[in-house]
């Protein structure tokens, strides 16, 4: 028996707006949505994938984890204890990706990092949840 990382749950005020924002950021697909949760699969689902049909265990264990957005009544108040790290491939333009995120509504955030020394950029989504854009990589 083994476990699979299934989802990362994100508390937010507007689950629909947050899910759509992250789906756009990650070229993701909303695979479930109601008033209590919205699930996004980063990168989307493979062609022909049926979210209602059971899949074999070996394929299930290889499926990408989702992001699930759930409503909470209060806004974010302190620095995240857990955050998402994003990275561009070395063949992509990392700075252009950061500008794209800022254009989508991300903001630059200072969580105590020394921007002259670190190799990542700290941003926040529209509800203030921090995430990082790491240096470009190829693995």
Domain ranges of the chain: 7-71, 84-133
Residue 31 confidence (pLDDT) above 70: yes
CB atoms within 10 A of CB 62: 9
- Looking at domain 7-71, which CATH architecture does it have? 2-Layer Sandwich (3.30)
Q: What is the spatial distance between Cα 13 and Cα 76, in angstroms, rounded to a whole number?
A: 9
Tens digits of per-residue pLDDT, 81-129?
A: 899 999 999 999 999 999 999 999 999 999 888 888 899 999 999 999 9
- Cross-strand partners of 123: 108, 131
46: Cβ contacts below 8 Å, ≥ 6 apart: none
Query: How does the average pLDDT of the chain come out, rounded?
Result: 93
Residue 1 confidence (pLDDT) above 80: no
């Amino acid at each position: 028996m083994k476990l699979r990382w299934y989802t990362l749950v994100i508390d937010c005020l507007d689950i629909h707006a947050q899910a759509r924002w992250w789906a756009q950021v990650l070229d993701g697909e909303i695979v479930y949505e109601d008033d209590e949760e919205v699930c996004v699969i980063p990168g989307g689902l493979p062609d022909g994938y049926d979210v209602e049909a059971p899949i074999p265990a070996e394929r299930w264990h290889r499926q990408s984890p989702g992001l699930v957005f759930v409503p909470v009544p209060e806004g974010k108040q302190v620095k995240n204890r857990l955050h998402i790290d994003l990275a561009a491939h070395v063949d992509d333009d990392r700075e252009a990706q950061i500008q794209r995120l800022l254009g989508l509504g991300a903001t630059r955030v200072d969580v105590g990092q020394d921007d002259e020394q670190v190799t990542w950029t700290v941003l926040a989504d529209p509800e203030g949840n921090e995430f990082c854009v790491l240096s470009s990589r190829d693995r």
